[in-house]
Amino acid sequence: MDGLLVLLGLVILAIPVAVIYLLISHSGLKGRVRQLEAEVTKLQLRPDAPPVAQTARDAPKPAAEPTPASKDTPAPEPESTKAPDPVDRAPAEKVIAARRAREAEIASTPPEPRPPSLAARGMAWLAGHWIYAVSALSLALAGLFLVQYGVENGFFPPTARILAALAFGGALIAGGEVIRRRFGDGLEASTAYLPSVFSGAGLVSLFGAVVAARLLYGLIGVEIAFAGLVALGVLGLVLGWIHGPLLAGIGVIGAFASPFLVGSEVPATPWLFVYFGIVTAVGLGIDTLRRWAWVSALSAALGVVTGGLTYVAGSAGEMSLAAQVYFAVMVALAVLIPARGILPDHAEPMALRALVDRQGWPSFPVLLVWPVLAVASFMITGIGAEDAGLFWPGIAVPSLLVAAFVLWSHGAPGLQDAGLVPLAGLFILIALEGVGPGQEARAFAAAYAETAEADFPLAVSVLVAVGLALSVLSLWRGLRPGEGVAWAIAAAVIAPAVAIVLEVTWQPAETIGAYPWALHGAVLAAVMTQFAIVLARVDGDDRLRLSICILSALAALTFAIVLILSDAALTVALAALVVAAAALDRRFELPLMQVFISIGVVAVGARLIADPGLGWAMQQAVFWEVLLAYGGALVAFVAALYLLRGKDRVTAQVMLDTGAWSAGGVLASLCLSRAIEALTGRASEGHWEVGLFAVIWIILALVQVIRFEALGGRLRWVRAGLAGLFGLIALGAILASLTLFNPLLDAFSPNVHGPVLINTLVPGYLLPALVLLAGSTRLVGREIRWGVFGLACALAAFWAFAALRHGWQGPETLELRHGFLQGELWSYTLALLAVGAALFYQSLARGSVVLRRAGLVVIGLAVAKVFFVDISGLTGLTRVLSLAVLGLSLAVLAWLDRWAQGRADPQPE
């Protein structure tokens, strides 16, 4: 065990030492840069020296030599009598020309060579000064192993061992001071870095001696050990201030490594957290005095690493709570010590904004806080989830951190987003406890397991109260002068988010009942409404923050009604909330309400289609429930659309419009299906049911295509994917109606029910064709529009064929295997000719060449049918009549075609 600890300590010590010496070159380069700057200044001040930093633009222009006048050269006119240049540029053009000239000059100037990176400079320094690193490491280990040697061999009593380590450390510090005072510690001195090496190694030895005196031998009490460590921390600050960053790095690394190198068999205790906290504070304190950023980074990194190792090495029950407190203290140290006060002053930009906007880089103090905060939140959450008795401390510590950042960041705008990290840890811990399930979640679920007279479990109520407290605190922050929308969003989101996480993972309604749990949602809605009232008084005409809180109140109210209402009533209630949002927008001018309206339309649509969905509507629900759910949604969407008339609410209006069409179409299909089932006395099993099913999915697919074309945005590909999925379902239903459930093929479909032209063929084939035709008129994309139109024409043609056959054959001999009657074949020809004539008429009315060509195609089909089918299938006068009608029709249509072309083509003069 000792060897493993020694090896671990060497690894911890070696890596930061290398980093320090890589970074220490910064101090050496400073002197060289200063010397170069002084030499450049001297060169510039010399009167006989040319300018050093002039560019071609700054260089003086040589005076033009006078050109001797000749008799052929006219003398220049006086400047006062010279006419103005008619092509003289305007001032704006001159500015543009000058700017372009500067840009061309900059582009032609070769770029300056990039300076070597920090790592390259550090490696170069280490290559020439590696001996200092080895010397510091050797001296620091000597002091620590002096104590370990006494332990292993028992040569000296414990007191003598500690005194020897203290004496050794003191001698090294004294020697470093003597060298610094007599020979100096500057870069130009021959003893450069030596005072820092000796003093740093001595400081490590002193830290190790105090730790060994307390943890190994128990020679001193907790108070004396604490006081000694604080005194050594102050000494480290003083020495770091005097000697420079090298000593600071050596001292910090050695102090962190000391407990791992003294060879203790005693298990880790919570007092190690106190020790590591003091050492971290010492390192951060050195940085806040001298502004050596890497010292803070090193101290913070080693602080969280050694804290994590201490927690892992100790016993869980004893170390867990201390570890949670320790990591919270690490965050406080990382925030406050660089700010040199109780209130931080971290300047913008925030880390997340810098990551998104990419227009600036956060300052070092801001960058220092984030990794410490991330690791600390991870450890606090993990400890709370792992240790059964530390769930509530795991809730309290992140909550206090969130509250602290809400309060702290008023004077530190760069930390306004830092509270998101512990807030995420809070949500994760609540979720893990419920999914686990953890001890608290199990106790909550078993509250009424033995008797219904047990006390009401308060766990979820307390968690919701924690979320409410953070929301109230965020609102208070948002009411301070100069604050923006972000704090209103936090106030409106935190508490409802806690309730949602509890609903998903804890499922409180199964334990305390739907009504008590819904009461929590009602309380949230009431609090968010009060937030909106407060913001309405403060913001005046600016309704953005008010809208956010109203959205949250509506969402909380939705959450409450979801828990207590039945399927149909819940759908109507959600639709009513959409109407309420539209009314609020109309009354108070709240543009953000269209976000809730859009989400509400999607939620209602999901209930109509998926949960409880079409299966519930077709098979389980009674008719009045279907009418209430789907009819209520239709009325609500139309009412909301009416309330938004005349307003610039494109997203909400498109969502409501398409939602109304989809709800109305689905309702009509369901009503028709119920009517057919009642009239025929058959369960929904035939071609009409498949056709109505196709109508529903055709409507849904068209709705998504319309939204895709009209709205675009980030969800456009989601809408495209839904349109493709719904379209495939509809196409599959259409193919099934034409094959498996086709009444002409006698497959699985019952006979056609109803009189001629008013029968089940209409919902099976004509209704899908009409829906496709109507939808194609609202589509924008040419390819999609013509594809939908072509499919509609194909379905309509099949319906016309099946309807004509049903009129001639009746339902008993409708299948194609029974053959064709002569009048039936002739009627098909007449139908084709009628369709062709109708297309011709439409082409004349609209002046459409496409319709004229389509009419010719249909007539061509009629001609082909007559010559290839009718001549062989008809006999007698029927054949003669068919050919005569075809001839006369073709003559009339040919004349019409010629006349139409004459009107379309210009006549020659």
Peptide bond just before 349 cis, omega within 30 deg: yes
CB count within 10 Å of CB 383 equals 23
pLDDT of residue 160: 75
Mean pLDDT in each 10-residue stretch from start to end of the chain (909 residues)? 37 36 39 61 55 40 42 43 43 51 54 46 49 53 54 62 78 74 58 65 76 74 70 69 64 69 59 84 73 76 88 73 90 84 79 73 84 91 83 91 87 86 93 86 78 75 94 91 84 92 89 89 92 87 84 87 81 87 85 86 89 83 88 92 88 91 90 82 72 90 88 79 90 89 72 83 91 87 86 90 86 79 73 75 70 70 61 53 58 59 50
**Residue 123 has which token pair?**
């490696």
Q: At what angle do helices 293-313 and 245-261 cross, to 10 degrees?
A: 10
Distances (CA, A) of 515 to 11, 508, 522, 721: 59, 11, 10, 38
**Largest Cα–Cα separation, the chain:** 135
| Amino acid identity at 607 | R
> In terms of DSSP H, where are the helices of 80-190?
91-108, 118-153, 158-183
Kindly report each contact of residues 459-466 with a partner whose C-beta sits within 8 Å and lies 24 or more positions away, as own/partner: 460/502, 460/506, 460/508, 460/512, 460/517, 460/520, 461/520, 463/395, 463/430, 463/498, 463/502, 464/495, 464/498, 464/499, 464/502, 464/520, 464/523, 464/524, 466/395, 466/399, 466/426, 466/498
Q: Looking at residue 361, what is its pLDDT?
A: 78
| Separation between Cα atoms, residue 711 and residue 650, nearest integer Å | 8
Distance in angstroms (rounded) separating the CA atoms of residues 742 and 889: 33
CB count in 10 Å sphere of residue 544: 14
**Beta carbons of 372 and 391 less than 8 angstroms apart:** no
Contacts of 687 (CB under 8 A, 6+ apart): 737, 741, 742, 743, 749, 760, 761, 764, 765
Q: b/e string for 199-212 if b means 16 or more Cβ within 10 A?
A: bbbbbbbbbbbbbb
Residue type, 169: G
Given a contact cutoff of 8 angstroms between Cβ atoms, the answer to whether 511 and 444 are in contact is: yes
Please give the Cα distance from 448 to 454 (Å, whole number). 6
- The answer to whether the beta carbons of residues 176 and 199 sit under 8 Å apart is yes
Query: Would you state the pLDDT for residue 635?
Result: 93
pLDDT at 62: 44
Torsion sign over Cα 605, 607, 609, 611: positive
- Which pLDDT score, from 0 to 100, does residue 78 have? 44
Considering only CA atoms, which of 711, 700, 731 is closest in space to residue 609? 700
Question: Which residues lie below 8 Å from residue 463, measured CB to CB, with a gap of 6+?
Answer: 395, 430, 498, 502
Tokens of 144: 């620590």
CA nearest to 472, candidates 519, 510, 527: 527
Q: Is residue 334 within 8 Å of 385, Cβ to Cβ?
A: no
Determine the Cα–Cα distance for residues 659 and 603; give it in Å rounded to an integer.
11
Q: What is the pLDDT of residue 11?
A: 36
Position 452 scores a pLDDT of 58
Please, which residues have CB within 8 angstroms of residue 120's CB and are 6 or more apart in sequence? none
Residue 341, SS3 per DSSP: coil
Say what the pLDDT of residue 86 is: 42
Q: What is the pTM of this model?
A: 0.62
- Measured CA to CA, the distance from residue 776 to residue 26 in angstroms comes to 70
Q: What is the pLDDT of residue 640?
A: 93
Single-letter code of the amino acid located at 352: L
